[in-house]
Amino acid sequence: MRLVREYGVAVEFADLGDWSADALRSEYDPAGPTIRLNTRVIEALAVEQIGEFVTLALAHEIYHHRERLGEIERLPRRADRESAAADFAGRMLAAS
């Protein structure tokens, strides 16, 4: 994904653990900055679903990176931040 390269964010594939019914799809680590994609989720997908998963996950986490940089407002409630990141990812997928 172009934005990931432009922001200089590293991407890793990692086992992010067992989160029961709600699998953690990806995570953003500002220290890298790094986005980690959960291999447990990827392994459960059909091959034709992987590209969409990766695009959505990367876009979602780039939203959080942009929050950290101050490019976009960091909403006070976590649920609102996650919803905004999901909306951003959906728009990025539609544009790809």
| Statement: the pTM of the whole predicted model exceeds 0.85 | yes
Tell me how far apart the alpha carbons of residues 19 and 7 are, in angstroms, rounded to a whole number. 29
Which string of DSSP letters, residue by residue, matches 13-73? EE-----TTS---EEEETTTTEEEEEHHHHHTS-HHHHHHHHHHHHHHHHHHHHHHHTSS-
Is the predicted pLDDT of residue 89 greater than 80, yes or no? yes
- Tell me the per-residue pLDDT of 2-29, one tens digit each, with 9 for 90 and over: 899 999 999 999 999 876 666 789 999 9
- Tell me the per-residue pLDDT of 33-86, one tens digit each, with 9 for 90 and over: 999 999 999 999 999 999 999 999 999 999 999 999 999 999 999 999 999 999
